[in-house]
Amino acid sequence: MRDKIYLAATFIVNIIALYMMFIYSPPLVVGAEVAADPEVFRIFYLHLPAAIAAYIAFAITFIGSVLYLRKKDFKWDVLAAASAKLGLIFCGAVLLLGSIWAENAWGVYWNWDPRETTTLILFFAYVAYLAYRMAIEDREKKARLSSVLGIFAFATVPLSYLSIQIWQTLHPIVIRLGKVEMSPPVTYTLIVSLIGELLIFFFILYLTVKAENLTEKIAKVKAGG
Amino acid sequence: MGAQSRNLHIAWAILLKDLRLELRRKYEIFSMFTFALLSIISFSFSLGPAPSNVLDVIPTSLWVIILFTGIISFTTVFIREMDKGTMDGLRSLPSSPQAIFLGKTFYCFILMGIVEFVLIPASMILFNYSFNSDLALVILTFVLGTFNIALIGSMVSALTMYSESKTILIPLLTFPLIPGSLIPSVTATMKLAFGANLSLILPELRLIVAFLLAILLASWLIFEYVFYE
C-alpha cells in the first residue's frame, strides 16, 4: 500500500514538473554571449536534477561503503552497489543532456570544459567500481574491497562539483555563494523538477535494493545456507 | 624499540628489499625505461621534424608518459607478492599495515623517479627545449606529482591483487583517481616551461598537496581492510 501511495505521489509531482517545464517556465537564454535557441534551455530542468541525483547516489555509495567496513553487514554493501548503478545512469543522463545543451549553446557537443571533463571522470570512476566488483568472486572480499574503492571513488564527486570554482569554465553558474541567480519561475520549476527526479531515484533505489537482497537470499538457499 | 620506530624500520626494510629484488631482476625497470623512451620517440612522429610548438606540447606530454610508465610499475608493488605467495610473510611482520604500504609506495616512487631522471633530460635534448624556471621548482613539481601517482598506484595494486583481469583493472581503477593531482601537475609544468616563478604555480602546488594529503589520509585509514584477508 505504501509503495502505491509513493508511486502515485511520484507520478503527480512529475506531471506537475512536466507542465511547469514546458508551459509555466518561460524560454530563456543563459549568458548574454550565447546565441542559443531559448526553448532548449528547458533541458536545464532535467540536467541539473540529474546531476544532483547522481551526486546523492554516489554519496549513498560512500556512506554504504563506510558502514559496511564498520558493521560487516552485507545490506550496506548491497545499498552501496545499487546506488552506484543508479548513479551511473543519472550521471550518463547528465553527460547526454549536457552535450545536447552544449551543442545548442556553444556549437559543439563536447569541448573538454573542466566541468564536462571532471563529470566524465566521475562517470568512469564508478564504471571502474562496478567492473571491479564483477572481477571478484568471493562475496566477502567483493564487499570489503569494493567498499574501499567506493570510498576512494567518492573523491571524484567534489572534484566534479568544485571544478567550476577551481578552473575557468564555460559552464553556467546558477548558485553562487548560496545565492540563487535565477528568476522565480525558473527557480520554482527547478525545485519541482528536482523533487520529481529525486522521488524517481529513491523509488528505483528501493526496488533495486529489494531485488538484490532477494537475489542474495536465493543464492544463500541454493548454497544450502 | 618503540612501535613508531619499528614501523619506520620495517617500511625502510621493505623498500630496500624491493629495490634489491628489482636490481637483481631488472625486468620492470628495463620495461619502464624502454616504454618511456619509445613514447618520447612516438611524440616526435606527431610533432614532425623541427617542430615550432615543442614548448606547448612536450613538457606536459611528459606526464602522460610518466603515468603510463607508472602503471607498469604498479604490478610489482603488491601483485608480485601475491603471485609469488609472499603476502602471508608480509602479513606476519610485526608492524602496522600502514608501514608496509609506506614502504611499497616509496619503492614505486623511487622506480618512477629513476625513470624520470633519465626521461626528462632526454626529452630536453631530443626536442631542444629547457624549463625557463628555477630547477628547484621543476623538481618540486615532478616530485609531488610523481608521489601522488605512486600513492594511488600502490593502493590500486593492493586492490587488484585479489581480482581477476588485473591488466585491464589497473588502468581502469587508476585513471579516475589520478586527475585531481595530474591536472594541476600538468598545468604547473606548462607554466614552468614558460618561465613561471613560485607565486604563479602556487595555486597548482596547493591543489597537488591537498589531493596528496586527502589520498594519504584515506589510504592510511582504510589500507588494513585491503591488506588482511
Segments making up each domain of chain A, as ranges: 2-24+37-222
Residue A214 near chain B (CB below 8 Å): no
Cα B23 to chain center, whole Å? 18
- Please indicate if any CB of chain A lies within 8 Å of the CB of B164: yes
What is the interface size between A and B, counted as CB pairs within 8 Å?
73
* Partners of residue A175 on adjacent β-strands: A180
DSSP string, B123-185: HHHHHT----S-HHHHHHHHHHHHHHHHHHHHHHHHHHTTSS-HHHHHHHHHHHHSHHHHHHH
Contacts of B179 in chain A (CB under 8 A): 117-118, 121, 156, 159
The shortest CB-CB distance from A149 to any of B159, B180, B214 is to B159
Q: Which three cell numbers stand for residue B117?
A: 631522471
Residues B59 and B137: their CA atoms lie apart, in Å, by 14
* Cβ separation B179–A118 shorter than 8 A: yes
- The pair phi, psi for residue A50, each rounded to 5°, is -65, -40
Chain B partners of A124 at a C-beta cutoff of 8 Å? 172, 175-176
pLDDT of residue A33: 45
Cβ distance B229 to A124 less than 8 Å, yes or no, reads no
**pLDDT tens readout for residues A30-73:** 554 455 677 888 888 999 999 999 999 999 999 999 999 999 99
Interface contact B176-A145, CB threshold 8 A: no
Mean pLDDT of A77-106: 94
**pLDDT at res. A168:** 66
**B50 contact partners, CB below 8 Å, separation of at least 6:** none
pLDDT for A173: 62
Q: Nearest CB to A151: which of B176, B222, B229?
A: B222
Give the number of other CB atoms < 10 A from CB of residue B110: 17
A160 touches chain B (CB under 8 A): no
Domain that holds residue B38: 3-227
Which pLDDT belongs to residue A141?
94
DSSP type of residue B107: H
C-alpha–C-alpha distance, residues B166 and A179, integer Å: 47
**Mean pLDDT (whole number) for A133-161:** 93
Q: Rounded distance, CA B150 to CA A184, Å?
A: 49
- The CB density around residue B129, as the number of other CB atoms within 10 Å, is 16
pLDDT of residue A32: 45
- B211/chain A closest Cα distance in angstroms: 9
d(CA A69, CA A84): 17
Please tell me the distance from the alpha carbon of residue B217 to that of residue B213, in angstroms, as a whole number: 6
**Rounded mean pLDDT of chain A?**
88
If DSSP states are collapsed to H, E and C, what string results for A116-173? HHHHHHHHHHHHHHHHHHHCCCCHHHHHHHHHHHHHHHCCHHHHHHHHHHHCCCCCCC
Alpha carbon dihedral A122, A163, B181, B122, in 10-degree steps, equals: 110
pLDDT string in tens for chain B (229-residue length): 678 888 899 999 999 999 999 888 888 888 899 999 899 888 888 777 777 778 888 888 899 999 999 999 998 889 888 888 898 999 999 889 999 999 999 999 999 999 999 999 999 988 888 888 899 999 999 999 999 999 999 999 999 999 988 889 999 999 999 998 999 999 999 999 988 899 999 999 999 999 999 999 999 999 999 998 8
Contact B173 A127 (CB under 8 A): no
Distances (CA, A) of A66 to A63, A76, A143, A189, B115: 5, 9, 11, 35, 37
Burial of A201 (0-12, 13-18, 19+ CB in 10 A): buried
How many structural domains is chain B composed of?
1
Please tell me which residue, A225 or B118, carries the higher pLDDT value: B118
What's the whole-model pTM score?
0.89
Q: Do A148 and B226 touch (CB under 8 A)?
A: yes
DSSP B42-58: HHHHHH-SS-S-HHHHH
